[in-house]
């Protein structure tokens, strides 16, 4: 397949799956099996496109937070974003340095997809039995930070799924409110993770032979599709459950374990 076309498809896949609770890692693994493996710099860059997309989606909310720090409620919300990010950084950095992470290979990702799907079904059933609430407690804040670390240790878990469902289980069970907080926390988290990975890649000399045209195409594709995917998801979850995503994860994970799409 033409290299630019395969880069375009990979960028689209990253943008569509990064923020949906279905695991971008699992989908990119399958896609790169057929479209060819890419460099670490390429994978980091298309994730940066997804980060740019979520930043654009929440540009007005971010501006409101930045300019409204004189108000106690806004200042507290911003502090909670900072604390959730700090929890992820303080716990996640030692985990990363110690190498506590499962490999990006079919079997662990497939199991993470299946178990994550089952967890989503159970968590949504439990959260639906509680009174509706958008209360952002400190318990939710810390749990969202820890959930992001969990997703980093177990590729295929989905950062957004792990964090959103922790919030739902702990009482913040209005989905749009939970998703907004998780996505806002995800902006500094993903910027930091991508920046760290980029630094490691450049220091290791991994940028020398990069196909910059393909990388640019994939970056733009990830940004545009990521923007559309998040806008769609926010509208969808306002009136629908996450169950279709859970069943999709379970089906994909089982197919991977049977060796159907990936052939391994």
Nearest to 19 by CA among 251, 172, 237: 237
Say how many C-beta atoms besides its own lie within 10 A of residue 126's C-beta: 13
Percentage above 70 pLDDT, the chain: 95
User: What mean pLDDT value characterizes the chain?
Assistant: 88
Distance between CA atoms of residues 9 and 231, nearest Å: 20
In sequence order, the 6+-apart residues with CB closer than 8 A to the CB of 80 are: 136, 138, 141, 181
pLDDT in tens, 86-106: 999 999 888 877 777 677 678
Averaged pLDDT, 12-21: 92
Please identify which residue in the block is written with the tokens 């290299």. Answer: 3
Specify the pLDDT at position 26: 80
Residue boundaries of the structural domains of the chain = 3-257
Distance between CA atoms of residues 184 and 193, nearest Å: 15
CA atoms within 13 A on the CB side of 129: 6
SS3 241: coil
pLDDT in tens, 20-73: 999 888 888 888 878 887 877 788 788 889 889 999 999 999 999 999 999 999
pLDDT in tens, 130-147: 888 999 999 999 999 999
3-state secondary structure 141-161: HHHHHHHHHHHHHCCCCCHHH
DSSP string, 57-72: HTHHHHHHHHH-TTSH
Q: Where are the alpha helices (DSSP H) in the chain?
A: 3-17, 24-35, 40-57, 59-67, 72-97, 106-128, 138-153, 159-169, 175-203, 212-237, 243-257
Give the predicted TM-score (pTM) of the model.
0.88
Binned at pLDDT 50, 70 and 90, residue 194 comes out as: confident
Specify the pLDDT at position 1: 56
Say how many C-beta atoms besides its own lie within 10 A of residue 28's C-beta: 23
User: What's the farthest any 2 CA atoms get from each other in the chain?
Assistant: 56
Specify the pLDDT at position 261: 46
pLDDT at residue 108 is higher than 60: yes
Most confident of 1-5, 96-100, 108-112, 192-196: 108-112
Please identify which residue in the block is written with the tokens 């400190």. Answer: 138
Distance between CA atoms of residues 196 and 192, nearest Å: 6
Nearest to 13 by CA among 25, 21, 2: 25
Distance between CA atoms of residues 156 and 253, nearest Å: 9
CB 133 within 8 A of CB 171: yes
DSSP string, 85-112: HHHHHHHHHHHHHTT----SSHHHHHHH
């Amino acid at each position: 397949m033409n290299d630019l076309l395969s880069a375009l498809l990979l960028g689209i896949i990253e943008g569509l799956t990064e923020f949906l609770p279905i695991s971008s890692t699992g989908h990119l693994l399958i896609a790169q099996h057929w479209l060819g493996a890419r460099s670490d710099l390429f994978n980091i860059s298309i994730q940066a496109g997804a980060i740019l997309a979520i930043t654009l989606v929440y540009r007005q909310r971010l501006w409101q937070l930045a300019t409204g720090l004189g108000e106690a409620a806004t200042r507290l919300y911003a502090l909670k974003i900072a604390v959730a990010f700090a929890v992820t950084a303080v716990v996640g950095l030692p985990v990363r340095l110690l190498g506590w992470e499962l490999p990006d290979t079919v079997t662990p990702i497939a199991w993470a997809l299946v178990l994550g799907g089952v967890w989503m079904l159970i968590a949504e059933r439990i959260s639906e039995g509680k009174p509706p609430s958008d209360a952002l407690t400190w318990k939710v804040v810390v749990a969202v930070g820890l959930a992001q670390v969990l997703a980093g240790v177990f590729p295929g878990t989905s950062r957004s799924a792990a964090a959103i469902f922790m919030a739902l289980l702990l009482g913040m069970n209005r989905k749009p409110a939970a998703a907004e907080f998780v996505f806002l926390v995800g902006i500094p988290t993903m910027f930091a993770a991508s920046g760290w990975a980029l630094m490691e890649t450049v220091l290791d000399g991994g940028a020398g032979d990069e196909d910059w045209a393909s990388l640019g195409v994939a970056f733009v594709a990830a940004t545009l599709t990521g923007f559309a995917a998040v806008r769609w998801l926010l509208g969808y979850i306002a009136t629908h459950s996450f169950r279709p995503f859970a069943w999709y994860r379970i089906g994909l994970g089982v197919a991977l374990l049977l060796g159907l799409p990936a052939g391994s």
